[in-house]
């Protein structure tokens, strides 16, 4: 009986002790759950932050590889997850702008392919303004491509310009504009300009050759060769000019020699044969007076002056018995002009003959 009572008391004590421990256990369980939850949230948030940073880094990396959709998706997810993390929104905006910038580059390229130069120049200006205003590093991914497109625009413009007549100096200026460009298109247009320069050079030099200005023609060719080094057509034309100059100089020398000989013959004629006696007559005007009268003509090529005739009276034995000198009037005779002379000698006798013995004159 006593044993039953004792067992009952022990049982009551156990129940009482368990009742006293129950709140503590509940607290312990709740605390444990809260702790685990907080720790889990902490580590989750930490992982999520790390994941967001990873998305941001990967998205920026994809952007620099021109993978705009992948980059935009990663950055958009990172932004929606952690909009407060510094740099995510800026990177997302930069990617969207770069994606649009790529479309502008493609549009510019299409315009140039269609040779819509004016539209391309407008598009280029807009892109440059955008690059300067926004300072988006992703824009510089297209730096080389933009340089190529800008060069292509310049080359297309020059190619259109040289389809119209331009002076050699203007063509040289066009060549200088693209002298540093080494693309296949640039080399092609350079060759076109050089051909134009060669053609213009030959045309200008030919005009000088036609007026026998060989030195000027050679100078023009040398200038052309300065722009188109070792151009075959210009080198050949230069040799042609030299040959023509040598032939002309030879002909000129021959002409000069002929002219000198002709001048000598002409001078000799003017000094020895230019005065011609057109008519003359001798009459006895009165007993013991013999008169000489007549005309002369200047048949030379220069003016003559101081024409004097010497005439004499001969007997029947051809002996000179008297002589006189008379001047022609006027004293100066132009080419093809006539002059007159008149003189008399007093002499008596029979069978006398008059002769003109000599004529002298001076040449102007």
> What is the predicted pLDDT for the residue at 35?
63
Give CA separation, 240 vs 136, 213, 221, 245, 251, in Å. Answer: 61, 14, 11, 9, 16
- Helix, strand, or coil here: 316? coil
197, 141, 209: which is closest to 167 by C-alpha?
Answer: 197
- Record the pTM: 0.55
The CA distance from 251 to 247, in Å, is: 6
Q: Which helix (H) or strand (E) holds 297?
A: strand 289-298
The CA distance from 364 to 333, in Å, is: 10
Residue 320 contacts by C-beta under 8 Å, 6 or more apart in sequence?
Answer: 312, 313, 314
Ramachandran region, residue 165 (left: φ > 0; alpha: ψ -120 to 50; beta: rest): beta
What's the gap between Cα 280 and its chain centre? 78
> What is the predicted pLDDT for the residue at 16?
55
71, 70, 64, 65: which is closest to 92 by C-alpha?
Answer: 71
Ramachandran region, residue 87 (left: φ > 0; alpha: ψ -120 to 50; beta: rest): left
The CA distance from 324 to 358, in Å, is: 11
- pLDDT, one tens digit per residue, over 288-343 is 888 999 999 999 999 999 999 999 998 888 889 999 999 999 999 999 999 999 99
> What is the predicted pLDDT for the residue at 280?
92
The CA distance from 63 to 86, in Å, is: 18
Low-confidence ranges of the chain (pLDDT < 50): 1-2
Beta bridge partners of 313: 322, 354
With residues binned 3-state (H G I as helix, E B as strand, rest as coil), the percentages for the chain, rounded to 5, are: 65, 20, 15
Give CA separation, 68 vs 53, 194, 238, in Å. Answer: 18, 44, 60
CB 269 within 8 A of CB 300: yes
């Amino acid at each position: 009986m006593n044993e039953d009572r004792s067992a009952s008391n022990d049982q009551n004590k156990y129940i009482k002790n368990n009742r006293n421990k129950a709140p503590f256990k509940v607290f312990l369980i709740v605390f444990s759950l809260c702790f685990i939850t907080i720790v889990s949230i902490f580590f989750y948030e930490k992982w999520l932050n790390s994941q967001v940073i990873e998305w941001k880094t990967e998205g920026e990396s994809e952007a620099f590889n021109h993978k705009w959709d992948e980059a935009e998706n990663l950055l958009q997810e990172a932004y929606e997850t952690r909009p407060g993390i510094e740099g995510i929104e800026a990177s997302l905006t930069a990617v969207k702008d770069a994606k649009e910038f790529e479309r502008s580059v493609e549009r510019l390229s299409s315009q140039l392919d269609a040779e819509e130069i004016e539209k391309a120049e407008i598009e280029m200006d807009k892109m440059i303004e955008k690059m300067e205003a926004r300072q988006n590093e992703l824009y510089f991914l297209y730096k080389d491509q933009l340089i190529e497109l800008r060069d292509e625009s310049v080359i297309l413009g020059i190619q259109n310009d040289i389809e119209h007549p331009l002076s050699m100096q203007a063509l040289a200026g066009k060549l200088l504009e693209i002298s540093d460009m080494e693309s296949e298109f640039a080399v092609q247009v350079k060759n076109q300009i050089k051909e134009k320069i060669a053609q213009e050079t030959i045309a200008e030099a030919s005009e000088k050759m036609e007026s026998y200005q060989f030195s000027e023609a050679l100078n023009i060719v040398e200038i052309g060769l300065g722009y188109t080094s070792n151009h075959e057509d210009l080198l050949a034309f230069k040799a042609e000019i030299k040959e023509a100059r040598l032939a002309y100089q030879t002909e000129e020398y021959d002409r000069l020699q002929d002219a000198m000989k002709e001048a000598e013959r002409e001078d000799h004629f003017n000094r020895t044969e230019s005065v011609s006696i057109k008519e003359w007559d001798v009459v006895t005007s009165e007993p013991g007076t013999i008169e000489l009268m007549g005309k002369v003509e200047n048949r030379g090529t220069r003016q003559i002056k101081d024409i004097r005739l010497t005439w004499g009276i001969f007997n029947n034995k051809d002996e000179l018995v008297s002589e006189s000198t008379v001047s022609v009037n006027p004293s100066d005779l132009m080419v093809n002009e006539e002059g007159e002379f008149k003189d008399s000698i007093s002499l008596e006798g029979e069978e006398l003959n008059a002769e003109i013995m000599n004529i002298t004159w001076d040449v102007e």
